[in-house]
Amino acid sequence: MDAPDDWPRFAVTVDLVVLTVRHGRLHVLLVRRGEDPWRGAWALPGGFVHPDEDLHEAAARELAEETGVHQAAGHLEQLGTYGAPDRDPRMRVVSVAHLVLAPDLPEPTAGTDAAAAAWVPVEEVAGPDLAFDHARILADGVERARAKLEYSPLATAFCAERFTVAELRAVYEAVWGRPLDPRNFHRKVTSVPDLLVDTGERRTEGRGRPATVYRPGPATTIAPPLSRD
Amino acid sequence: MDAPDDWPRFAVTVDLVVLTVRHGRLHVLLVRRGEDPWRGAWALPGGFVHPDEDLHEAAARELAEETGVHQAAGHLEQLGTYGAPDRDPRMRVVSVAHLVLAPDLPEPTAGTDAAAAAWVPVEEVAGPDLAFDHARILADGVERARAKLEYSPLATAFCAERFTVAELRAVYEAVWGRPLDPRNFHRKVTSVPDLLVDTGERRTEGRGRPATVYRPGPATTIAPPLSRD
DNA sequence: GGTCTTTCTCGTCACGACGACGATAAGCCG
DNA sequence: CGGCTTATCGTCGTCGTGACGAGAAAGACC
């Protein structure tokens, strides 16, 4: 381990689990592979880490390149690293997966080097259809998102800059896949200090009484956590 | 990204944050570096991933090689990956850090390729003394351990196969760095279903009423969590 | 053997958070 | 102007928790 050139060479990639909520359902951004192996299969967007960039930078760059999403709004964090020796038949690849939570975006943009990109409802993703070990990575990403909504203000990353309590609740319901009581949810989120900041604005969504419009506050944790049971 | 040999070469290593509780204090296993850079500085144990092994395997192997610890008892999980371009001046290294929680071990064993190994109380580790970005990795590992004790039965990984409630409480107090009420702690942990299994045995620790001896049960989560406040 | 001390274990009580759900406010729509 | 819908506030019983009292069961000391 001393000789500076006596070490195995690995390819290092970043893979992205990009989640959003559309029409009340949790979606993941997938690209269709244009090359072997797994030609024609769905895969997570990703690519090689460049020699001079940090992992977080590489993830942000790939996100912009392949999906046109700029991470300004939303949230990007490292998810985990996957490095089974046979996960890619071509070479020894270690992939650092990242989790992105994004607000509902215009329309999936075909990437530069992917045949197609699309938002796919998470429940409709058939595990075996995904390339490499991406089914596992996706499952880990979804589970991380579900868990983090409990104790972090991360759900706001799925919302626009300004949002109502009902919109925030819709995020929780989509990610957790179960309905929440609007009254208890309202009481809970409005009682957490510094979680929501009242903008003074009111917004009426078609029917019903107008809702107060909030923007995210400086709170970093929700204590005690929301419970998904 | 198509040519199988058109990609940057990285070295991939595993680094280990090995924690244990000794004499009521949280300790981390450190090795003293015998080579430049950072010769003579403390560092986390670790080493290169071999071409044919998975990351988890590599971590377990390094643990055994450098510290003589077999992961049979204890707990090993991936912590996170650190890949800043300049974190090692010799080459581009991406390090997959792992967290190990081990019961109190005989005595630190000098590793095969490290000058010395030692248990160091976590509070006494001076950040700038650690090699590379290991201070950050250690901080992340300790924070992960603290957080996981809240909602997982992981504290038992710090204990021997059979332990008393007081021993378990000592683990929490050491990791969280604050005293807990023995009566409330006892009520809490004994009320979680399948967390502790009564072995029928009693053990008297010098003074005082003998304590019931438990072994870990099949529970995977503590709900609702313990609070470290 | 009797006390004292120590530790383990069980109870009690007040408070706060939560789930279930009723009631009111404030807009649209016909 | 009623009806409908959604937002927001209140109430009530239950449960988990922190603070702490009290009994149980051992060793220590006289």
| Residue A205: predicted pLDDT | 85
CA of A222 to C1' of C16 (A): 16
| Separation CA B10–CA A51 (nearest Å) | 8
CA of B211 to C1' of C2 (A): 25
Between B91 and A36, the more confident residue is B91
Burial of A114 (0-12, 13-18, 19+ CB in 10 A): buried
Confidence of residue A220 (pLDDT cuts 50, 70, 90): very high
Chain B residues whose CB is inside 8 A of the A94 CB are 10, 12, 49, 55, 94, 96
Q: What are phi and psi of B193, to 5 degrees?
A: -65, 135
Instruction: Report if CB B165 to strand C is under 7 Å.
Output: yes
In the predicted structure, residue A7 carries a pLDDT above the cut 80 = yes
Which DSSP state fits A4?
T
Percent of chain B with pLDDT over 70: 94
Percent of chain B with pLDDT over 90: 81
Residue among B82, B89, B225 at smallest CA distance from B155: B225
| Residue A73: predicted pLDDT | 79
Which protein residue's Cα is closest to nucleotide C9 at C1'?
B183
Mean pLDDT within B197-223:
95
Cβ(A97)–Cβ(A9) under 8 Å? no
Instruction: Report if CB A205 to strand C is under 7 Å.
Output: no
Which protein residue's Cα is closest to nucleotide C26 at C1'?
A209
| Separation CA B87–CA B76 (nearest Å) | 24
List the single range of B15-24, B33-42, B91-100 with lowest mean pLDDT. B33-42
| Residue A69: predicted pLDDT | 76
Confidence of residue B69 (pLDDT cuts 50, 70, 90): confident
Which protein residue's Cα is closest to nucleotide C27 at C1'?
A209
Mean pLDDT within B53-59:
98
pTM of the model: 0.93
| Residue A183: predicted pLDDT | 98
CA distances from B88 to A101, A152, B11, B31, B132 (A): 31, 33, 10, 17, 7
| Residue B126: predicted pLDDT | 87
Between A2 and A150, the more confident residue is A150
Residue burial A183-200, b: 16+ Cβ < 10 Å; e: rest: eebbebbeebeebbeeee
Give residue-wise pLDDT tens across range B123-175.
999 878 899 999 999 999 999 999 999 999 999 999 999 999 999 999 999 99
How do strand A11-22 and strand A93-101 relate by DSSP bridges? parallel
Q: How far apart are the first and last CA of chain A?
A: 48
Confidence of residue B205 (pLDDT cuts 50, 70, 90): confident
| Residue A67: predicted pLDDT | 78
Cβ(A214)–Cβ(A162) under 8 Å? yes
Between A105 and A138, the more confident residue is A138
Which positions in strand D are less than 7 Å from the protein's CB atoms? 4-10, 16-28
| Residue B63: predicted pLDDT | 92
Between B116 and B71, the more confident residue is B116
Count the helices and strands in chain A (H runs, E runs): 4, 10
> What is the enclosing helix (H) or strand (E) of B121?
strand B116-121
**Mind telling me how many Å the CA of A213 is from chain B's nearest CA?**
31
In the predicted structure, residue B1 carries a pLDDT above the cut 70 = no
Average pLDDT in chain B? 92
| Residue B12: predicted pLDDT | 98
In the predicted structure, residue A132 carries a pLDDT above the cut 90 = yes
Give residue-wise pLDDT tens across range A10-68.
999 999 999 999 999 999 999 999 888 999 999 999 999 999 999 999 999 999 988 77
Instruction: Report if CB A182 to strand D is under 7 Å.
Output: yes
Residue among A71, A132, A128, A120 at smallest CA distance from A100: A71
| Residue A4: predicted pLDDT | 58
Instruction: Report if CB A181 to strand C is under 7 Å.
Output: yes
> What is the enclosing helix (H) or strand (E) of B111?
none
Give residue-wise pLDDT tens across range A170-179.
999 999 999 9
CA distances from B217 to A73, B75, B154, B199, B201 (A): 44, 15, 11, 11, 16
Please state, as a whole number, how many other Cβ atoms lie within 10 Å of the Cβ of residue B193: 9
Chain A residues whose CB is inside 8 A of the B8 CB are 11-12, 48-51
| Mutation for A interface: B1, B56, B87, most A CBs within 10 A | B1
| Residue A153: predicted pLDDT | 98
| Mutation for B interface: A36, A94, A144, A222, most B CBs within 10 A | A94
